[in-house]
Amino acid sequence: MLIACAALLPAARAHSEVTFAPSWEMPTYETVRGNVLQWLDEVQPTEEVRAEASSLWPSVELRDADGTALLQRVAETFAVVDPQAHELVRACNLKHAGPLPPDASWLHDRSVPRFMRHNLLLYYARWLAQRGLYDEVLLALEGISAQDVVDPAGLLFTRVIAHQQLVHLDESRAALAQLLEHEETLPRRYEQIAQLLQRDLAELQDESLDHIARQMNDVRRRLDFGRAGKKVQSVEQSVVDSLDKLIKKIEDQQQQCSKSGGTAQSSQPMQDSRLPSMRAPMQVDQRDIGSQSGWGDLPPRERQQALQQIGRDFPAHYRELIEQYFRELADESNSSPNK
């Protein structure tokens, strides 16, 4: 009887393993070439322009035609045919003088062919991500799915990075899970960074000091771009609220320890741990919190009390980071809100 049951185990295990089909596939060179030729039929350029654009897509598959190379070639094809696309691609390939990014607002016009619109928005979003403009990245990629572009891995990777840098934990984890559906076929650079991000996000918890530190870095990034409006204020308020909750939690634990007759926690900080280098925000309710980036300063007495409490219970570099954060907020000059 036991032998018979054992013989059934492999089959039962096989039935219990459920596999799911990936939500996206990497298009082949021939598929992308066909989409380009179809787009040329739709826009109907002159014979001379069509010949120049078609020359970028020989019938023989190109070497190293990965997603990045395909997207670059598609963008160059658009630039040959369309003057606005030519200006955008040119701007994205020049050294950026700032402060404003190239104008791509015309791509949100529904009259722009879908194939051209989605792939140029991804091309533009990659340029934005390289310059730390992560809010703009998400705006550019809004509503675009992996099936809409010639480089789906690049789309998902760019979206993961933007959410992770903005501390959108749930969104970054969801995009990362989708990206890793094809982990075995991802470009090596994507695979390695995705694995690092996977470990990083798995260990990160809401309203931990690690999380708060990343939000502080996000505030600094925004202020570096000269932005002190509602988005910055929202993240600043989230930082202060999280610190308040953290201090209250520590105080409650100490009171509980005193009531139970236990000993108080050591006044020595924990051993230093690695300060995270990645950052990104939480979703918070909108509040009327003023128009200046320095609005969130704690009163000196409360700030010192908070720093002392954190210094006793957490690594020394966290105290230094938080102290520097409040000092930078206090030094921020009044400026008109941007974004």
- Reading the block at residue 155, the tokens are 């789309």
Domain final position from 165, 188, 203: 203
Does 195 lie in the same domain as 46?
yes
Q: What is the pTM of this model?
A: 0.66
With contact defined as beta carbons under 8 Å apart, do 310 and 242 qualify? no
In terms of Cα–Cα distance, which of 262, 270, 253 is closest to 313?
270
Is residue 18 pLDDT above 60, yes or no?
no
Does 198 lie in the same domain as 217?
no
Does 194 lie in the same domain as 245?
no
Binned at pLDDT 50, 70 and 90, residue 33 comes out as: very high
Does 273 lie in the same domain as 194?
no
337 DSSP 8-state letter: -
Does 190 lie in the same domain as 226?
no
Does 38 lie in the same domain as 167?
yes
d(CA 279, CA 168): 9
The highest-confidence range among 75-84, 262-271, 329-338, by mean pLDDT, is: 75-84
For residue 285, the model assigns a pLDDT of 45
For residue 22, the model assigns a pLDDT of 85
* Element containing residue 116 per DSSP (H, E): helix 114-130
Does 192 lie in the same domain as 65?
yes
Does 190 lie in the same domain as 218?
no
- With respect to residue 22, please indicate whether it lies within any of the assigned structural domains: no
Domain final position from 203, 230, 246: 203
Does 224 lie in the same domain as 177?
no
Does 318 lie in the same domain as 196?
no
Count CB neighbours of 195 within 10 A: 14
Peptide bond into 187 cis (omega under 30): no
176 DSSP 8-state letter: H
With contact defined as beta carbons under 8 Å apart, do 242 and 215 qualify? yes
In terms of Cα–Cα distance, which of 150, 104, 145, 153 is closest to 127?
104
**% of the chain at pLDDT higher than 90:** 39
Is residue 233 pLDDT above 70, yes or no?
yes
Residue 303's domain spans which residues?
A: 209-257+268-331
With contact defined as beta carbons under 8 Å apart, do 326 and 236 qualify? no
Listed in sequence order, the residues at least 6 apart from 235 whose beta carbon sits closer than 8 Å to its beta carbon are 215, 218, 219, 222, 281, 282
- With respect to residue 48, please indicate whether it lies within any of the assigned structural domains: yes
Mean pLDDT along residues 312-337: 57
- Count of domains forming the chain: 2
pLDDT, tens digit (0-9, with 9 covering 90-100), for 177-204: 999 999 888 888 888 888 888 888 887 7
Does 161 lie in the same domain as 288?
no
Is residue 266 pLDDT above 90, yes or no?
no
Does 67 lie in the same domain as 181?
yes
With contact defined as beta carbons under 8 Å apart, do 278 and 164 qualify? yes
With contact defined as beta carbons under 8 Å apart, do 144 and 153 qualify? no
